């Protein structure tokens, strides 16, 4: 089972805290890889918030090609972070030549364009880089290209990987960090199959196996969206569904729940927006999941959420203190990340719940799909 550890805070913190939470939850052979997404960056990136950051892994040749490519597209390097790789990585860590985290200045032709245009441009550029890397058998693997977002992925035990990246010594601090502690052990190991998955400012990580994967993948790829590619893991669709409903259909965030697990017709009666739900259910039928899945996601504005499928449910808990909330697959992980919280206020999302925490992590909001009401837990 994947272990998931997301933390949202009003202060910058080290991703090592997520890794330690993963370590607490680890059992069996599930600690086979690490995927990290950091959002709302601090430290050396604190003053670079509007500049897009490219996160990639390359070979030496890929590193050179990528540089050339970025220059040819008119990007100018603004800042570069390279992990201080430990000279003696743990035995499970699979080492690659170069790990790139680079902030760029936008090319002149796009700098003054509205953000939506920039967003499309960044996506296209990332896809071009991805295609370039795939053409020569994996010289470049690119994970995200977006302002204020960094992605790190590696094969190996999460703790060993964290130390390998030197995150224990010189981390990139952030206010939102998602960590997932397993390579996809169901399939061949592939860095592109490692959660969290990112597209245009939204990302998700998932626990469980998505039995409706094929029809969903076919539906997404048939939307004419260039970014809906990849699918090395059946969980990648969760990120793309979030992107589709938020930034192509323009639905408010809690409707994510209605898209992936629509209510039964009779249940809709309790909702004031029943008319809209009925239409959505029919039109988005292909995106219905059957689980078992627990999805933790982050929207462009930094709101993080946890949601379960409607039947089988995977472990998941949300809890914390004012200014620091964890969204984890297990309570022990949450306790590692936020030990001093009031556990009475922990929320275990159930069939109808959509649990969200907004930037600042002041409170936990549970939106109920059955009646559309929201319960807010103020944190102390």
Q: Say how many residues make up the chain.
A: 380
From 151-159, 269-277, 316-324, 337-345, span contacting other proteins (CB under 8 A): 269-277
In Å, how far are 218, 228, 289 from 231, measured between CA atoms?
10, 8, 16
Strand, helix or coil for residue 204 = strand
Residues 6+ apart with CB under 8 A from 139: 58, 59, 61, 62, 65, 132, 133
Distant-in-sequence contacts of 309-315, Cβ < 8 A, 24+ apart: 309/208, 309/260, 309/261, 310/261, 310/351, 310/352, 311/351, 312/208, 313/350, 313/351, 314/1, 314/207, 314/208, 315/207
The answer to whether 352 contacts other proteins (rule: CB under 8 A) is no
- Quote the longest CA-to-CA distance of the chain: 61
Q: Which of 61, 131, 134, 186 binds other proteins (CB under 8 A)?
A: 186
Percentage helix, strand, coil for the chain under 3-state DSSP, each rounded to 5: 30, 30, 40
Strand, helix or coil for residue 250 = coil
The answer to whether 310 contacts other proteins (rule: CB under 8 A) is yes
The answer to whether 276 contacts other proteins (rule: CB under 8 A) is yes
- Supply the minimum distance, in Å, between the C-beta of residue 126 and other proteins: 23
Angle at 288 between CA 286 and CA 290, to 5 degrees: 130
- Supply the minimum distance, in Å, between the C-beta of residue 270 and other proteins: 14
Q: Which of 197, 255, 256, 354 binds other proteins (CB under 8 A)?
A: 255
Q: Would you give the DSSP letter of residue 106? A: P
* Nearer residue to other proteins within complex by CB, 14 or 261: 261
* Nearer residue to other proteins within complex by CB, 77 or 211: 211
Is the Cβ–Cβ distance between 55 and 174 less than 8 Å? no
From 78-86, 106-114, 160-168, 259-267, span contacting other proteins (CB under 8 A): 259-267
Tokens standing for 234?
């059946």
Q: Which of 95, 113, 135, 223 binds other proteins (CB under 8 A)?
A: 223
From 40-48, 69-77, 152-160, 310-318, span contacting other proteins (CB under 8 A): 310-318
Q: Which of 249, 323, 371, 373 binds other proteins (CB under 8 A)?
A: 249
From 92-100, 194-202, 265-273, 295-303, span contacting other proteins (CB under 8 A): 265-273
Q: Which of 89, 90, 292, 359 binds other proteins (CB under 8 A)?
A: 292
Q: How far apart are CA 67 and CA 47, in angstroms?
A: 23
The answer to whether 373 contacts other proteins (rule: CB under 8 A) is no
Q: Which of 289, 307, 347, 357 binds other proteins (CB under 8 A)?
A: 289
The answer to whether 302 contacts other proteins (rule: CB under 8 A) is no
Residue 4 β-bridge partners: 180
From 25-33, 81-89, 107-115, 307-315, span contacting other proteins (CB under 8 A): 307-315
From 11-19, 155-163, 286-294, 338-346, span contacting other proteins (CB under 8 A): 286-294
- Supply the minimum distance, in Å, between the C-beta of residue 5 and other proteins: 21
The answer to whether 29 contacts other proteins (rule: CB under 8 A) is no
Is the Cβ–Cβ distance between 328 and 315 less than 8 Å? no
Q: Which of 97, 117, 218, 371 binds other proteins (CB under 8 A)?
A: 218
H or E element at residue 373? none
Q: How far apart are CA 6 and CA 296, in angstroms?
A: 8
- Interface residue list for other proteins (CB under 8 A): 186, 208-209, 211-215, 218-219, 222-224, 248-252, 254-255, 261-262, 264-265, 272-273, 275-277, 279-280, 282-286, 288-292, 310-312, 372
């Amino acid at each position: 089972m994947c272990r998931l550890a997301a933390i949202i805070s009003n202060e910058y913190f080290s991703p090592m805290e997520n890794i330690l939470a993963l370590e607490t939850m680890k059992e069996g052979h599930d600690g086979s890889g690490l995927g990290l997404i950091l959002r709302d960056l601090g430290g050396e990136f604190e003053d670079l918030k509007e500049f897009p950051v490219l996160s990639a892994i390359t070979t030496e040749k890929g590193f050179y090609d990528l540089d050339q490519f970025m220059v040819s597209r008119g990007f100018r390097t603004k800042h570069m972070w390279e992990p201080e790789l430990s000279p003696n990585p743990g035995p499970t860590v699979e080492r690659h030549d170069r790990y790139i985290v680079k902030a760029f200045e936008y090319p002149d032709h796009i700098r003054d364009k509205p953000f939506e245009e920039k967003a499309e441009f960044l996506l296209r550029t990332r896809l071009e880089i991805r295609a370039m890397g795939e053409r020569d058998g994996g010289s470049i693997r690119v994970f995200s290209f977006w302002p204020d977002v960094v992605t790190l992925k590696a094969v190996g035990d999460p703790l060993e990987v964290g130390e390998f990246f030197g995150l224990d010594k010189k981390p990139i601090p952030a206010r939102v960090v998602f960590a997932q502690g397993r390579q996809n052990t169901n399939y061949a190991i592939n860095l592109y199959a490692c959660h969290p998955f990112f597209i245009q400012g939204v990302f998700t990580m998932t626990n469980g196996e998505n039995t409706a994967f094929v029809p969903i993948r076919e539906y997404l790829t048939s939307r004419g969206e260039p970014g809906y590619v990849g699918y090395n893991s059946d969980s990648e669709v969760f990120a793309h569904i979030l992107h589709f409903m938020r930034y192509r259909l323009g639905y408010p965030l809690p409707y994510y729940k209605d898209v992936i697990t629509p209510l039964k017709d009779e249940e809709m009666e309790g909702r004031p927006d029943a008319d809209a739900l009925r239409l959505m259910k029919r039109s988005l039928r292909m995106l219905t999941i059957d689980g078992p899945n627990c999805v933790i996601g982050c929207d462009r504005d930094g709101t993080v959420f946890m949601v379960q499928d409607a039947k089988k449910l995977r472990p998941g808990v949300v809890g914390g203190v004012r200014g620091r909330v964890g969204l984890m697959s297990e309570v022990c992980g949450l306790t590692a990340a936020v030990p001093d919280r009031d556990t009475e206020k922990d929320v275990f999302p159930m069939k109808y719940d959509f649990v969200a925490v907004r930037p600042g992590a002041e409170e936990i909001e549970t939106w109920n799909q059955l009646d559309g009401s929201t319960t807010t837990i103020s944190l102390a």
